[in-house]
Amino acid sequence: MSRPPQGKKRISYINKIPTEKALPQAKADYSSAKMTVNSIMDGIRIGRMIDMNEARVTVNHIVDGILQNRDALAWLTKIKDKDEYTAEHSLNVSILSATFARHLGHDENDIKKIALGGLLHDVGKAKIPVEILNKEGRFTDEEFDIMKQHTVFGRNLLMTMPKREHYVIDIAHSHHERMDGKGYPRKLDASKIPYFAKIVSIVDAYDAITSSRCYDKGRASMEALDIIYKCKDTQFDAVLALEFIKCIGIYPPGAIVELTNGEVGIVIETHENNKLKPRILLVLDQNKKSCPQKIINLNLNVKDDTGEYLRISKELINGSYDVWLEEFIKRGLQIS
């Protein structure tokens, strides 16, 4: 099993095109990929075999997009529809796992493996009764025991494939194992958990925490990262947890933020070496009124009207001041 790239083997990537130019293709790839995930899950429920070629084609498009620009697809993972949670979650985990693998400096081949494992990590949920999978409210102990079986169901499904991809099987089977040996289904200790599964387990938790589901309201990205930080060494690999926090950053792509002068914008893309000063699409003026959209780059030390350097003062929840991320994605970025 692959390990973190060391020394000279670690690859450094840069965005080849800006996010605003990458977003239209990212939207098309995301929509197509979501249909693929739904098709896979629906097919399993009626006894159809997983089409691995279709899954690989989807992952290739995802990884190609992320290698061109790490932020455009990450934008789209911020849009959450609790009625499509299972499909969106699998796709988001694939996208964010590939983004994380790029951050870690893996080569393209490993990034595609991790992304494929992320896409299929929850296939076993297709074998969970829908009344449990979509239950409003918390699970009973018995229902949770059934839900935990999705890791075994996923392993068994993937083991039936003519050509077994063992890293994909490992991820499906082991993404709920914990560093302290208290995970499921096998209570593996840290040394026995596959490296790729350790990556996907962090991403899986992050997307779950930031998503609204039948029984829980999604939380802000910063809160999710704080939970991951507090669970390093017990639930998550400590080195990978800290790297993931660096990868996502305090203000990830798609975050709605208020600046120190009162203007409101959406984070377009982040700088690898300065996550506190991203590129931002301004959408509201200081009085919280709509304004012509323009992009500012805080990394260039932009000043406000008083001569003070502009900074982000806080992250806002989606819908604040009637700014809805999905509306901007739907109509595209209109830059003045």
User: Tens digit of pLDDT for each residue in 289-330?
Assistant: 999 888 999 999 998 889 999 999 998 888 889 998 888 877
pLDDT at residue 214 tops 70: no
Domain finish residue from 224, 248, 272: 248
Question: Between residues 139 and 169, which one has the greater pLDDT?
Answer: 169
Label residue 216 by pLDDT band (50, 70, 90): low
Residue 1 within a domain: no
Question: Which of 7-16, 115-124, 227-236 bottoms out in mean pLDDT, i.e. has the lowest?
Answer: 7-16
Q: Are residues 161 and 287 in the same domain?
A: no
Q: Are residues 278 and 187 in the same domain?
A: no
Q: Is the whole-model pTM more than 0.75? A: yes
Q: Are residues 32 and 178 in the same domain?
A: yes
**What does the pLDDT read at residue 319?**
84
What CA–CA distance (Å, rounded) separates 62 from 31?
A: 11
Q: Are residues 98 and 80 in the same domain?
A: yes
> CATH code at 166?
1.10.3210.10
**What does the pLDDT read at residue 136?**
80
Q: Are residues 213 and 276 in the same domain?
A: no
Cβ atoms of residues 264 and 258 within 8 Å: yes
**What does the pLDDT read at residue 6?**
62
Instruction: Give the C-alpha distances (Å, rounded to integers) separating 318 from 55, 138, 204, 247, 328.
Output: 31, 25, 21, 21, 12
Rg of the Cα atoms in the chain: 20
Domain finish residue from 248, 266, 299: 248
Residue 242 within a domain: yes
**What does the pLDDT read at residue 87?**
87
Tally of domains in the chain: 2
Domain finish residue from 248, 267, 299: 248
Residue 113 within a domain: yes
Q: Are residues 219 and 297 in the same domain?
A: no
Q: Are residues 267 and 209 in the same domain?
A: no
pLDDT at residue 213 tops 70: no
Q: Are residues 235 and 304 in the same domain?
A: no
Q: Are residues 109 and 50 in the same domain?
A: yes
Residue 336 within a domain: no
**What does the pLDDT read at residue 220?**
80
What CA–CA distance (Å, rounded) separates 97 from 115?
A: 6
Label residue 78 by pLDDT band (50, 70, 90): confident
Q: Which domain does 109 fall in, by range? A: 7-248
